[in-house]
Amino acid sequence: MDKLLEIKDLHVSFDTYGGEVKAVRGVNLDVKKGETLAIVGESGSGKSVTSKAVMGLIPNPPGRIKQGEILFNGKDLTKLSDRKMQGVRGKDISMIFQDPMTSLNPTMTVGKQIMEGLIKHQKLSRSEARERTVKLLDLVGIPNPDKRVKQYPHQFSGGMRQRVVIAIALACNPMLLIADEPTTALDVTIQAQILDLMRDLQKQMSTSIILITHDLGVVANLAHRVAVMYGGKIIETGTVDEVFYKPKHPYTWGLLSSMPKLHGKSEELLAIPGSPPDLSNPPKGCPFAPRCPHAMQVCIEHMPDYTELTDTQKSACWLLDERAPKVEPPETIGVGGSK
């Protein structure tokens, strides 16, 4: 498959009163055409910042892309002028935000907000745009679309608003869709509806999706590949099966173990002790070392390189070094669900 997006050695920092916060510290990623890549991690791991960098939405100041390239179809997005970036954003790459309550403009009708992009990017006339808007609302499963276009966001429920946000994102048939926690603010039954919708739409339009989430259930449901982020770095990446069934990084083990299982009863959850690192003063070695039950001296001093386990799976951990002791993953990672 062709690479649609390639992120090379991306560093993003924020200058704050407390000093420089290194939110993203050397991320390498690629997204192929038509696939869903999930970026998982806890708050502050740099997953949202990475995606915002792709969208050119890092506020400057305080934020800046210190280093690295973001190649989209071969052209470097970090080098584009603001004006040129506006031609990409919303047209080739678009975004679904987390909170449908705040990502829509309350003073504009829903129809107008969807038409905005169509008129600007696709140079459609008003009437054409309106027609397409009604079709889009129908596509995302909003009943009575011809009536609903004239309504305001407050007249929609949470789930319906998220459908509108998806319609806006899909308006110009983007090649890449970034979904930043698209279902976190929604209830489970509504989440199931939206995940279903996203999967159907991807099949129909063969859009690539970057899915940012902390919910491993959503990842298992939607993603083809997974990148696990911690402390501003990707510590493990692979296909969804590799990461869930054969994880190699202790952080991935911890993440999978700390989820309660729906079937069968476990006595105690395997919690990861401690809390994530402070990125204004990032650790020299592996960011997970202070919380890692298998940490060695070398982990504290040097960041490990990636070990290529298969064509698709890479993991950055000293345990994979041939000199390291053999450590078996805990039994508790036995992924949930299966009866």
Partner 1 sequence: MIAAQGREKLLEVKNLKKYFNVGHKEVLKAVDDVSFTIYKGETLGLVGESGCGKSTTGRTIIDLYGATGGQVLYSGKEVHGVKEKSKKKELTRKMQMIFQDPYASLNPRMTVKDIIAEGIDIHGLAKNSKERQARVFELLETVGLNRDHASRYPHEFSGGQRQRIGIARALAVDPDFIIADEPISALDVSIQAQVVNLLQNLQKERGLTYLFIAHDLSMVKHISDRVGVMYLGNMVELSESDELYDEPLHPYTQALLSAIPVPDPNVERSRERIILEGDVPSPIDPPSGCRFRTRCPMAMDVCAQVTPKWQEAKEGHWVACHLHDDEYKHG
The residue ranges that bind partner 1 (CB under 8 A) are 42-43, 157-160, 187-193, 195-196, 214-221, 240-241, 244-245, 254-263, 265-266, 268-273, 275-276, 335-338
Query: How would you label 81-117 residue by residue, b for 16+ Cβ within 10 Å and e otherwise?
Result: eeeebeebbbbbbbbbbbbbeebbeeeebbbbbbbbb
- Minimal distance in Å, beta carbon 181 to partner 1? 13
Using DSSP, state whether 155 is helix, strand or coil.
helix
Beta carbon nearer to partner 1, 177 or 226: 226
- Minimal distance in Å, beta carbon 308 to partner 1? 22
- Residues sharing a CB contact under 8 Å with residue 265, sequence separation 6 or more, in sequence order: none
Beta carbon nearer to partner 1, 117 or 276: 276
Beta carbon nearer to partner 1, 1 or 192: 192
Task: Say how far apart CA 195 and CA 184 lie, in whole Å.
Answer: 11
Given a contact cutoff of 8 angstroms between Cβ atoms, the answer to whether 279 and 232 are in contact is yes
Using DSSP, state whether 119 is helix, strand or coil.
helix
- H-type alpha helices, 263-325: 297-301
Beta carbon nearer to partner 1, 263 or 326: 263
Beta carbon nearer to partner 1, 127 or 189: 189
- Minimal distance in Å, beta carbon 140 to partner 1? 14
Beta carbon nearer to partner 1, 278 or 301: 278
Beta carbon nearer to partner 1, 74 or 273: 273
Query: How would you label 229-246 residue by residue, b for 16+ Cβ within 10 Å and e otherwise?
Result: bbbbbbbbbbbbebbbeb
Amino acid identity for residue 108 in this structure: M
Beta carbon nearer to partner 1, 32 or 214: 214
- Minimal distance in Å, beta carbon 281 to partner 1? 15
Beta carbon nearer to partner 1, 34 or 119: 34
Question: CA-based angle 75:81:87, to the nearest 5?
Answer: 70
- Minimal distance in Å, beta carbon 312 to partner 1? 14
- Minimal distance in Å, beta carbon 200 to partner 1? 12
- Minimal distance in Å, beta carbon 276 to partner 1? 8
Tokens of 104: 């829509």
- Other C-beta atoms lying within 10 Å of the C-beta of residue 276: 18
Using DSSP, state whether 74 is helix, strand or coil.
coil
- Minimal distance in Å, beta carbon 44 to partner 1? 9
- Minimal distance in Å, beta carbon 73 to partner 1? 29
Q: In what order do the strands lie in the sheet with 307-308?
A: 93-96, 176-180, 208-213, 36-40, 225-230, 233-239, 314-315, 307-308
Task: Say how far apart CA 58 and CA 262 lie, in whole Å.
Answer: 38
Tracing tokens 């060695």 back to the chain, one arrives at 296
